[in-house]
Amino acid sequence: MSVGHTRTIALPRGRVLDLRGGFAVMGVINVTPDSFWEGSRARAEAVTDIAADMIAAGAAILDIGGESTRPGAAYLSPDAELERVAPAIEALRSRWDIALSVDTRKSVVARAAIAAGADIVNDVAALEDDPAMAPLCAASGVPVVLMHKKGVPKTMQDEPYYDDCPAEVFSYLATAARRAIAAGIKAENIILDPGIGFGKRLDDNLALLARLDELCGGGYPVLVGLSRKSFIGSITGRDPAGRMAGSLAAACAALAKGASIFRVHDVAQTVDALRVFQACAGKPEPDWERRA
């Protein structure tokens, strides 16, 4: 059993994202009116309150997104996205030194977000949608998350098909990593995301999780976004509000396969679940006894 990654990732301004404890939880802050789960939508004035709660609960990263990429979502203009994202990042950076990630596939938004204090670019298009994104990330020196998706958000769930989903996704991500390195992005700044729920059927998502150790064994930290997604609802019959238990079970399964960064809505519950799982798997955190 593999439990998490075992290295650090350098961030701008001399800071470090430490994965040597086995995992890092990324709290989702959607400054959007149309994210798939209503509970994840944050009004601009509430962003700092939500962030404070997530940080207190153990989040190592906050991921700020201004464009919904849920199945069926329409494209949002860069200007509209930037109006949502930049003030949120500025507000968070002015108060905390925590790692901030911007969830965007647009270089204009990423550039402004980095200037405002973002440390990581989380690109659901793996740098493919915008030809200026890779050079920007290379020049800025920020870590990047390269995610697999099939098609565009508006139509990606319209009967997606794979002969062998894990093989295709893992091959795509290996190519995306090589392309990023060729563009000047350091290998140690690359994080991979298999894109659970992005142009995948239930069986595809389950196959990806079952074989996630193949991706995690490739040398790059692996991020997974499982929180409250539809594949959990397909198994449990529950709507997004009722999918927390399923989300925690999926997160523990992914940790067992070697995933190290978990993008979630429910930070406190996920941190607790992963800590307990690690302890039961024989890899307790150094300070867990002091919290008893």
The CATH number of whichever domain residue 102 belongs to comes to: 3.20.20.20
pLDDT (tens, 9 = 90+) of the chain, 292 residues, equals 444 455 899 999 898 999 988 999 999 999 987 444 444 445 556 899 999 999 999 999 999 999 977 767 678 999 999 999 999 999 999 999 999 999 999 999 999 999 999 999 999 999 999 999 999 999 999 999 999 998 766 665 667 889 999 999 999 999 999 999 999 999 999 999 999 999 999 999 999 999 999 999 999 999 999 999 999 999 999 999 999 999 999 999 999 999 999 999 999 999 999 999 999 998 766 554 444 4
* Domain membership flag for residue 200: yes
- Give the global pTM: 0.91
| Catalytic residue ranges | 229, 263
* Domain membership flag for residue 186: yes
* Domain membership flag for residue 1: no
* Domain membership flag for residue 210: yes
Cβ atoms of 150 and 199 closer than 8 Å: yes
Q: What is the pLDDT of residues 79-117, one digit of tens each?
A: 999 999 999 999 999 999 999 999 999 999 999 999 999
- Residue 251 burial (CB count, 10 A): 26
In a 3-state reduction of DSSP, which class is residue 106?
coil
* Domain membership flag for residue 104: yes
> Hunting for tokens 């993008």 — which residue is that?
263
Q: What is the pLDDT of residues 167-204, one digit of tens each?
A: 999 999 999 999 999 999 999 999 999 999 999 999 99
* Domain membership flag for residue 46: yes
* Domain membership flag for residue 2: no
Q: Per the structure, how many domains does the chain have?
A: 1
Torsion of CA 211, 162, 179, 27, to 10 degrees: -60
Domain span including residue 16: 8-291
* Domain membership flag for residue 259: yes
Helices marked H in 96-201: 107-116, 133-140, 165-182
223: amino acid identity, one letter: L
Give the burial string for 191-222 (b: 16+ CB within 10 Å, else e). Answer: bbbbbbbbbbbeebbbbbbebbbebbeeebbb
- Residue 43 burial (CB count, 10 A): 10
